[in-house]
Amino acid sequence: MNGSESFSCIIPTLADDYNEVSGYLYSLFDMTGINRLIFIGPESLGKAVYDDAKVKGMEDKVGFINENDIIPFDSVKRSYETRLQEIAKINGNPEKVSRVGWYYQQFLKMAYSMSCTDEYYLCWDADTIPLRRIEMFHSSGKPYLDIKPEYRASYFETIKNLFGYGKVIWESFISEHMLFDKKLMIELMDEIISRPLEGSTFYEKILSAVDHPLNGFSEFETYGTWIAKKYPDKYRLRQWKSLRNTGFMINRKDISQDDLDWLATGFDAASFERYQEVYPHLNELFLNRHYREKLTADVFYKELLEMGLFGEYKDGGIVNEGYLAPI
């Protein structure tokens, strides 16, 4: 059985988040063709996962891995705080917000490759709901790398510090999910370890390469850029149609099946970012039956973007402080 016929999906998350989204995430079996769903997180998550899987009769297809069995959190925390101190000495402006958990989840996604038993593994963001069938492999057998408009310079500064080159293609590889080639991910981590930077582990090296700790690294952008540079024929690029700003229009707890069915007329997936809060005027437009009868969800959303309701819309993205924010 080759990778295109059998692959698992990992989702790093927390127990509270799992309880909110588990019903949606189980649909990944039908939507993507995965053979197993593996949740990664603290011990408290394990009980929630196993209890839920038992109720759903899915014990044989769902698993849990304690995050500390992949990478000890305290080790990443020490490395992160050391790097913050180094940066503070350079610019005299200590970072007031800790993003250690954000970095930690990214490192977990990468390090899982060392225990994965499939040729490929899908990583899916817990805040993202799949809306319709998503083929992860082209008819030729090549896996897809999905791309969208987005740009944050700090990600590519870190990539350049790691590999000596920056952005390779115009689009972004940040797409709320990614199908990783296990062997290539291990090769990527080995290459990072070989770089002349502080530290001995791949995550210590990455943190040593980060100059802007608030938003200094993207595992998806790094893997995609490295693949595009080193193995450009390995994957097939595909424009990904997802709605990243769903949470400004409706609360995840309030979304109905009718809402999801309509969103599926224009999108493959819908995300609900933690920082997003519902705006009443956007919620009113989102729930308006007249628009739903006349427009597919992607056309409706583009109309809102072009009206400037989410900020300045340019080059396929929302301009925010000099970078293209996700749409």
Across 42-51, 196-205, 230-239, 317-326, least confident range: 317-326
Instruction: Write down the pLDDT at residue 274.
Output: 83
Residue ending a domain, choose from 239, 270, 298: 239
- Residues 24 and 157 grouped into a single domain: yes
In whole angstroms, give the CA distance from residue 245 to residue 320: 14
Instruction: Give this prediction's pTM.
Output: 0.94
Query: In angstroms, what is the C-alpha Rg of the chain?
Result: 20
In angstroms, what CA-CA distances link 252 with 37, 116, 299, 314?
22, 31, 21, 27
Residues 6+ apart with CB under 8 A from 2: 119, 141
The band of 97, judged by pLDDT with boundaries at 50, 70 and 90, is confident
Boundaries of domain holding 39: 8-130+140-239
The band of 1, judged by pLDDT with boundaries at 50, 70 and 90, is very low
- Residues 122 and 264 grouped into a single domain: no
Determine, yes or no, domain membership for 2: no
- Residues 268 and 204 grouped into a single domain: no
- Residues 158 and 260 grouped into a single domain: no
Determine, yes or no, domain membership for 42: yes
Instruction: Write down the pLDDT at residue 213.
Output: 92
In this model, does residue 23 exceed pLDDT 90? Answer: no
Instruction: Write down the pLDDT at residue 319.
Output: 87
The band of 93, judged by pLDDT with boundaries at 50, 70 and 90, is confident
Backbone angles phi, psi at 303, to 5 degrees: -60, -45
- Contact criterion met (CB below 8 Å) for 324 and 149: yes
Residue ending a domain, choose from 213, 239, 265: 239
In this model, does residue 3 exceed pLDDT 50? Answer: no
In this model, does residue 128 exceed pLDDT 50? Answer: yes
* CA proximity to 276, closest of 127, 78, 147: 127
- Residues 173 and 308 grouped into a single domain: no
- Residues 98 and 188 grouped into a single domain: yes
Determine, yes or no, domain membership for 64: yes
SS (H, E, C) the chain: CCCCCCCEEEEECCHHHHHHHHHHHCCHHHHHCCCEEEEEECHHHHHHHHHHHHHHCCCCCEEEEEHHHCCCHHHHHHHHHHHHHHHHHHHCCCCCCCCHHHHHHHHHHHHHHHCCCCCEEEEECCCEEECCCCCCECCCCCEEEEEECCECHHHHHHHHHHHCCCCCCCCECCCCEEEEEHHHHHHHHHHHHHCCCCCCCHHHHHHHHCCCHHHCCCHHHHHHHHHHHHCCCCCEEEECCEECEHHHCCCHHHCCHHHHHHHCCCCCEEEECCCCCCCHHHHHHHHCHHHHHHCCHHHHHHHHHHCCECECEECCEEEECCEEECC
| CATH number of residue 31's parent domain | 3.90.550
Tokens of 324: 């293209």
